Amino acid sequence: MRFRTLILLLALFFTIAHSGDDKSNVRGLGMAGATTATSRTIDAIGINPALLAYMGIAKGSEIKGRIIDAETKQPVPGAQITIKKLNLTSRANFS
């Protein structure tokens, strides 16, 4: 009984850990991992944030954070960005 419970818990934890990746979507995996080209709407937050502005989703939102140092022009390690008032109602036509 303990062995079956252990196997069931391991399978459950593996499933949760496997589906917890935010850097992939079904379209991107079908295109050999090209998730940057296929990220649309809310998928763009973790993959390609520049697409949010292109689609008009980031219009009127407050984006705070410093990811590039002004003096050295290099990325700041461990930088975090906060986004407020994200407009998820806008749609873009990519056909």
In a domain, 54, yes or no: yes
Ordered mean pLDDT values, 10 residues apiece, the chain (95 residues): 85 62 64 67 65 61 67 73 63 50
In a domain, 65, yes or no: yes
| pLDDT for residue 18 | 53
| pLDDT for residue 95 | 43
What's the N-to-C CA distance of the chain in angstroms?
A: 54
Domains contained in the chain, number:
1
In a domain, 27, yes or no: yes
DSSP classification of residue 75: B
The half-sphere exposure of 80 on its side-chain side, counting CA atoms within 13 A, is: 1
In a domain, 56, yes or no: yes
In a domain, 1, yes or no: no
Separation of alpha carbons 28 and 22, rounded Å: 12
In a domain, 63, yes or no: yes
Instruction: List the domain range (segments joined by +) for residue 33.
Output: 22-84
